[in-house]
Amino acid sequence: MKKWKKYMIDNYIKNLKLCCLDKQHDYNYIKLFDFTEEELKLINSEVKLESILETDKPLLYLLESGRIDFVVYILHSNYLKFDINETDQDKTLFISFVGYYLSQPPEDFKENYLDFEDRILLLFRRGYAIKNEDKDFIIAQKHISDPRHLKHLLFASYALKLNNLKLIYALRNHMDLITCLACLKNDINIGNYKTLDLLIKATIRWSDYQNEIIDYIKKTRKTQYDYLAKKLTEERRSISEKITDPNLRVVLKRLFI
């Protein structure tokens, strides 16, 4: 191994350990580098999260300590070995992520919502397996009424229902449509979708979304939304535009039919 590469790896290990312990470190040395397999073996032989943090549940420990950004770094990294399915009594990584965002002030909604979606998706990308505790936790949040936090719950609960990485990607990529349909299905306000006018505005660029909502209103006979169907009919650019994404079609079938 070249001397400069050994120096970089040694500094990576040193600063990563300091970061784990929430001590002063040089961030430049813990960026996501392009290590070889041989170098990764060396790093993992020196960096064991359980030993450094003195716990057999290092990711949950870090989340409980408010270190969510560092946990996200670990999950993005291919360098460190970890157990994505850590559990501690009734706590899981899914519950800890969702709970963290539900504890944030509602006024921060716009700033952290996309982070929330991406981080829940990241759990499933790394092989997360749904647990009964996750479902029980979501059910227990029925007391939450703030429409901004309800959108966090909507995404989390639908991710659990879909339990498929490709479908969760489709969920994330089409949340405007899915949130609109969820509002209509349950007669509730979620996120920024508080009025019919905002529902129309959210779909203004997508005739396929608008056609899907019109069809949903007609098929479910939700006559209280006839006004919305009429306005969407006036706004849509094309009657012929249909949803062609097969994964999104499966998502809509599972959630709304």
Q: How far apart are CA 241 and CA 225, in angstroms?
A: 21
| Residue 101 contacts residue 116 (beta carbons within 8 Å) | yes
Q: How far apart are CA 71 and CA 125, in angstroms?
A: 14
For residue 251, what pLDDT is reported?
98
* Secondary structure (DSSP) of 69-100: HHHHHHHH-SSS---TT-EETTEEHHHHHHHH
pTM greater than 0.75: yes
pLDDT of 79 > 80? The answer is: no
For residue 41, what pLDDT is reported?
85
92 strand-pairing partners: 87
- Provide the percentage of residues in the chain whose pLDDT is more than 70: 94
- Provide the percentage of residues in the chain whose pLDDT is more than 90: 55
For residue 255, what pLDDT is reported?
96
pLDDT of 194 > 60? The answer is: no
Tokens 């040089």, residue located:
26
The residue among 112 and 182 whose pLDDT is bigger is: 182
pLDDT of 23 > 60? The answer is: yes
Q: How many residues does the chain have?
A: 257
